[in-house]
Amino acid sequence: MKKLKVLILVFVAFACAEKQPEGIIVTIKNTLDFDRSFETIEIKKTQLASLKTNNFKVLETETNAEIVSQAVDYDKDGINDVLLFQPEISANSEKTFKIIGINTEKKQDSSVLKCYSRFVPERTDDYAWENNRVAFRTYGPKAQKMQEEGIKGGTLSSGIDAWLKRVEYPIINKWYKKNTDGTGSYHEDTGEGLDNFHVGVSRGIGGIAVHADSVYMVSKNFVSFKNITNGPIRTAFILNYAPYKINGIDVKETKYISLDYGQNLSRYTINISGTDHISAGITLHNKDGETTTNKENRFMSYWEPYFDSELGQGIVVQNKNVLLSFDEYITEEKDKSNLYAQLKVSDNLVDYYAGFGWKKAGQFTNKEAWNNYLSRFSKCLDTPLKIKFINSAK
């Protein structure tokens, strides 16, 4: 009788044990001699096909704790194309993760998304984006038309504006709201930061030009947009520009822009025809800062005194075969002095990263700290975290 009771207890315990869902085991390895974080792992849908679902979560196998992840449907066909997550991996070490399928779609509250972008019709027709560290915006066709017709409030620029935020929570909607309802202005710092970055016709932080006949030619404002995703890990969108002529040839330009959590640099993938090179630029403002160009580590920077603080701008090029040269272009023409990275276009595509660090935000204290960030960013691009699929597990 005792033996029977024991068998029954064992059976009940086994039956009540939580069934472990099917999953895919991956290891993420860091081969560099410093800790890595805020680098986004991308797992493609083909690598997740065995889970037979469109929604996922990621667990650390050591603790079984869920970490933040985001699934993205790039082509808007209703099927998620990639799964994103950001592991924290110590120097010269690796971690194991389990990806499991879930039945319900994760709902995101747009009011608190750390990586967020949107079209802003209430402020003419800006397009703005941000994460927990930085924020940007650029300008649309209505702003261009207003400027060309002499209407107050217009802007004619394909440069990239920076919003100097110094809080981790989202500010885009809050700043636009107080500006439009008259309760405040995003040009004044009330503790969260402000917009005092001047763009004009400059390239701002990461706008592009085409160098032709000793002149830098630029597009006008974007003419259309497409939002791809907002989430805890990444925001991404597309901006299209009207064709413009260089030496009788139509140049057609589309920007795919994304910004990931924890990073100061937006990624730009430029699809452009009509030229085999572009120039990605950062504005030199009053020309009273310090420029740095580093071809070996594929970055350039500008550290400048800025109002009551200091500001670093920078560009990091994705691939060593893309970076041709640098040009510190100085002119007396208003807003046209820029530091340029001359980049090679292959198959109509070119990749780079552009962003900033504001001293008042407490992220970077001086030029050396900012340049070290750009240099390390480049090194991580050269040596990405290694992903290895172990097996499908139950």
Distance CA 124, CA 221 (A): 12
So what's the pLDDT on residue 111?
63
Distance CA 251, CA 298 (A): 26
Q: What percent of the chain has pLDDT over 90?
A: 89
Q: What is the mean pLDDT of residues 264-280?
A: 98
Distance CA 108, CA 316 (A): 31
DSSP string covering 248-284, please?
Answer: TEEEEEEEEEEEETT-SEEEEEEEEES-SEEEEEEE-
Judged against a pLDDT cut of 90, whether residue 254 lies above it is answered with yes
So what's the pLDDT on residue 42?
98
Q: What is the mean pLDDT of the chain?
A: 93
Asked whether the beta carbons of 113 and 230 are under 8 A apart, the reply is yes
Separation of first and last alpha carbons in the chain: 35
Of the listed ranges 9-18, 117-126, 249-258, 278-287, the one predicted with least confidence: 9-18
Q: What is the mean pLDDT of residues 73-97?
A: 96
41 φ/ψ angles, rounded to the nearest 5 degrees: -85, 135
Give the domain ranges of the chain.
Answer: 23-103+385-393, 116-363
**Exposure b/e, 376-390, CB count within 10 A at least 16 = b:** ebbebbeeebeeeee
Asked whether the beta carbons of 243 and 250 are under 8 A apart, the reply is yes
So what's the pLDDT on residue 250?
96
Specify the higher pLDDT residue, 107 or 63.
63
Give me the long-range contacts of 15-20 (CB less than 8 A, separation at least 24): 20/394
185 φ/ψ angles, rounded to the nearest 5 degrees: -140, 135
Residues 6 or more apart whose CB falls under 8 angstroms from that of 213 comprise 247
Query: 131-149: per-residue pLDDT in tens?
Result: 999 999 999 999 999 999 9
So what's the pLDDT on residue 21?
52
- Centre a 10 Å sphere on the Cβ of residue 271 and count the other Cβ atoms it contains: 16
pLDDT band at 13 (very low <50, low <70, confident <90, very high): very low
Q: What is the mean pLDDT of residues 327-338?
A: 97
DSSP state of 18: P
Q: What is the mean pLDDT of residues 319-330?
A: 96
CATH number given to 116-363 = 2.70.98
Distance CA 315, CA 354 (A): 4
So what's the pLDDT on residue 113?
86
Which of 346, 347, 117, 95 lies closest to 225 in space, CA to CA?
Answer: 117
Distance CA 99, CA 21 (A): 10
- Centre a 10 Å sphere on the Cβ of residue 235 and count the other Cβ atoms it contains: 26
- Centre a 10 Å sphere on the Cβ of residue 308 and count the other Cβ atoms it contains: 9
Sign of torsion over alpha carbons 137, 139, 142, 147:
positive
Residues 6 or more apart whose CB falls under 8 angstroms from that of 93 comprise 29, 30
Q: Would you tell me which CATH number, out of the four given (1.20.1560.10, 3.40.50.1980, 3.20.20.70, 2.60.40.2210), belongs to the domain 23-103+385-393?
A: 2.60.40.2210
What is the pTM (predicted TM-score) of this model? 0.93
